[in-house]
Structure 1
Amino acid sequence: MIHTGQCHCGKLKVSFETGMTPEALGVRTCQCAFCRAHGAVNISDPQGLITIDGAPEDVECYNFALRTADFLICKTCGVYIAAVMGEGEKIVSTINIVGLRMNEFFEIDEAPMDYGAETTEARIARRFQKWTPTRFLNPDLAASNFGPH
């Protein structure tokens, strides 16, 4: 299955490929202050593929706390679309289905997740294990190194 979405203004687009149904994937609500402030509901599939399309000048990368990932935010409309970590061929991410308006996931019960007690090493390991392999259509955006900082 391929699910697509975009930020509010349409400058950042995401394609999410998975062999699982939305119900089987489930959705997560991180309890950190950033995700709560953005109303983020996230999905990932380590067997899937996320493709992000957008120009570097349209993306604001924000990081905080342990600085282990970059949160991609549209500079025009302010929508948080994804958290990204890695570099080169090993980039993984989780996407915000609310910001991307992926309606097919909206009726699924959200699982609250609290990662506050994780060490930096444990957080990085979990993300590489659980997040989705990611590619960027724009080579200039793909050249970025995303967390840890």
Structure 2
Amino acid sequence: MSFPPTPTGESSSHSGNCHCGAVRFKFTLSPPLHEYPTTECNCSICTKNGFLLVYPFNKDFTIEKGEDKLKEYQFAQRISTHQFCGECGSSCFIRLPEGHPPITVVNVRMLQDFDIEKLNIRKVDGKSRGEEYNV
């Protein structure tokens, strides 16, 4: 499978928000969400936050409200920027720097319209990548 998945002729559109609604976003995904390989990673942050991830292209992702409410967190090699609501703490998405695929990593659990039973969940061993997590 290519990363991100190769778009198909079909797509689905989704709206999401943090728990308190201060941050709202929307995106389009191809293939559609029920066919898209949703990632469940076992790395430290994905495990602690319960992330289920999809990867819409930046051009298909829009923050509709609350960009000023977003806080950021980086760890380990400080490559990705995790963005969460500064009001309620919900982990919404992850941004990648220049030189990486032009995607926004979205936490499916923030979507208004998903059924976990219909997701095509793909387990990824992120725990084995990089340094061991210690606090």
Q: TM-score range by the shorter chain?
A: 0.7 to 0.9
Q: Which has the higher helix share?
A: 1
- 1:4 paired residue among 15, 19, 31: 15
* 17 and 56 in structure 1: CA distance in 2 versus 1, 3 angstrom threshold: closer
Give the secondary-structure state (helix, strand or coil) at the position aligned to 1:111.
Answer: strand
1:23 counterpart SS class: coil
User: TM-score, length-normalised on structure 1?
Assistant: 0.67
**TM-score, L = length of structure 2:** 0.73
Q: Sequence identity of aligned pairs in percent?
A: 21
Cα distance per residue 1:86-140 (max 9 Å; x no partner): 25xx853110011x13442522142111235557xxxxxxxxxxxxxxxxxxxxx
Alignment-derived partner of residue 114 in structure 2? 104
Q: How many residues align?
A: 116
Superposed counterparts of 1:1-149, under 5 Å: 1-46=12-57, 49-86=60-97, 91-98=102-109, 100-107=110-117, 108-118=119-129
Structure 2 residue matching 1:64: 3-state secondary structure: coil
Equivalents in 1 of 2:76, 2:115: separation in Å? 28
2:103 is paired with a residue whose SS is: strand
Q: Which ranges in structure 2 are unaligned for 5 or more consecutive residues?
A: 1-11, 131-135
| Matched-pair contact (CA < 8 Å) for 1:58–1:75 | yes
Runs of 4+ off more than 6 Å: none
Give the unaligned 5+ runs of structure 1.
120-149
